[in-house]
A and B are shown apart, each in its own frame.
Chain A
């Protein structure tokens, strides 16, 4: 009989009315993220030895590292990611064998202006030996990344 298929469809949608909702009210609620989630980057400045492995692994030249020589040692003076070119592929994180560059769970990275996109993970004086304990700058605190 013509129309049977239509009725079957209506029956399915009616059943669905009584099942649990799968959507959430986003800004108020949010779904849990997987531990491996590729969110915004964080840099553990103390761990970073400025070896540029991450920058070389990147397919899209996203990472720009500035270094300085300090007592024959190479130290980090700047770490900037041009996130507008980032593929979030994770090859940089994989390349770093110090575990210094990592993904965080932050995914709300939209910016109002293009010049705010570059993510400055470190900028400033090379960490001096005795101060090394408190130079950990995370993404949110670094200058130029606030909306």
Chain B
């Protein structure tokens, strides 16, 4: 009988596959994981506390720093929560611009997810291709709001500025070229046999368990659960677009990956429709210069890139929020990591963690 001993291995805090400063303590029996204890908080900046010392508008730039890969979505979730609290009606054009920007942000975020996942599994080329195309979205954002990553484009009551003239032609060109790029990823990454061997039937996530653990977004849909707030509880103008919600079957790493690629196609479809329907008009509602929402609280959820992004805003009637809490999808999705890794080999931990698509700015808040 061989003598076996449980060994402990630290993955991170500095490890390329954790996509940031994140630490997992792995307990292993030979190569099999018996426990994966995630340790987060290395990037905790106390954003919820900082919010209490800032005005409602001043908090917008901080939402960028949560999920910095999809800043538009973070902006939107927050401003919509405050608008709900103040009962502000947003002009149509602003709603459409928001949809366009949000879906672009979703594509940008999924491109990182797809690209880095390819690196995690060992294919550097795929990453380069994804970043090349993401760069074009960054250029589009630069046209719209002057920033590339931390956008701060949404305002309470609308958006900061109208779209510049050169934006729509550039966007249309992007929309025309992107589908063939997605085919490239499919050929380069999805169809690769080594990639499939590493991801198929790995890290299975049961739909019932996923719901119980609050997992949302592509991770939940990959397990076959139809839950996309854009469809199930349409906010903004999402009920006016025709799109599908891609679902997975097995709930393994491969499904989570392909769900994201399929979602990008749907996002392109939404953007195309939004561009066609884009109405003229103002982009900002009439809001007072100093925002003082009535005392009360509101909880608002949107479908973020990583899952359900919720903002809970409490107002005491002053110009500063009394409390802001963010339901960060990455944080809650990560809560299941231990269960998900148990019983898999150490090499699979990288595949599983990558397939969850976390962003540490959001986990640690």
Contact between A and B in the complex (any CB pair below 8 Å): yes
Contact surface of A with B, Cβ cutoff 8 Å:
2-6, 8-9, 11-13, 16, 22, 33-38, 57-59, 87-91, 94, 103
Whole-angstrom CA separation of A2 from B192 in the bound complex: 10
Interface of B is mostly: helix
Whole-angstrom CA separation of A35 from B161 in the bound complex: 13
CB-based nearest A residue for B136: A22
Check if A8 sits within 8 Å of B187, measured CB to CB: yes
Contact surface of B with A, Cβ cutoff 8 Å:
54-55, 57-62, 64, 125, 129, 132, 135, 139, 142-147, 150, 152, 160-161, 164, 184, 187-189, 191-196
Check if A94 sits within 8 Å of B125, measured CB to CB: no
Given A8-B187, A57-B58, A91-B61, answer yes or no on A22-B132 (Cβ-Cβ < 8 Å): yes
9 example contacts (A-B, Cβ-Cβ < 8 A) are as follows: A5-B191, A6-B193, A34-B139, A34-B143, A36-B144, A36-B161, A89-B64, A90-B145, A90-B147
CB-based nearest B residue for A13: B125
Summed over the interface, the residue pairs from A and B with CB atoms below 8 Å come to a total of: 82
Chain A residues lying within 8 Å of B132, measured Cβ to Cβ, are 22
Closest 7 CB pairs between A and B?
A59-B58, A89-B61, A5-B191, A36-B146, A38-B146, A89-B152, A34-B142
Chain A residues lying within 8 Å of B142, measured Cβ to Cβ, are 33-34, 36-37
Chain A residues lying within 8 Å of B146, measured Cβ to Cβ, are 34, 36-38, 90, 103
Check if B150 sits within 8 Å of A9, measured CB to CB: no
CB-based nearest B residue for A93: B146
Whole-angstrom CA separation of A59 from B192 in the bound complex: 47
Check if B187 sits within 8 Å of A9, measured CB to CB: yes
Chain B residues lying within 8 Å of A103, measured Cβ to Cβ, are 146
Whole-angstrom CA separation of A23 from B164 in the bound complex: 25
Chain A residues lying within 8 Å of B61, measured Cβ to Cβ, are 59, 87, 89, 91
Cβ of B221 to closest chain A Cβ, rounded Å: 24
Check if A13 sits within 8 Å of B188, measured CB to CB: yes
Chain B residues lying within 8 Å of A89, measured Cβ to Cβ, are 60-61, 64, 147, 150, 152
16 extra interface residue pairs, beta carbon distance < 8 Å, beyond A5-B191, A57-B57: A5-B193, A8-B187, A9-B189, A12-B184, A12-B188, A34-B139, A36-B164, A38-B147, A59-B58, A87-B152, A88-B150, A90-B147, A90-B152, A91-B58, A91-B61, A103-B146
Chain A residues lying within 8 Å of B160, measured Cβ to Cβ, are 90, 94
Cβ of A52 to closest chain B Cβ, rounded Å: 15
**Contact residue among A6, A33, A36 (Cβ-Cβ distance under 8 Å from B145):** A36
**Contact residue among B152, B164, B187, B195 (Cβ-Cβ distance under 8 Å from A35):** B164
Chain B residues lying within 8 Å of A33, measured Cβ to Cβ, are 142
Check if B193 sits within 8 Å of A59, measured CB to CB: no
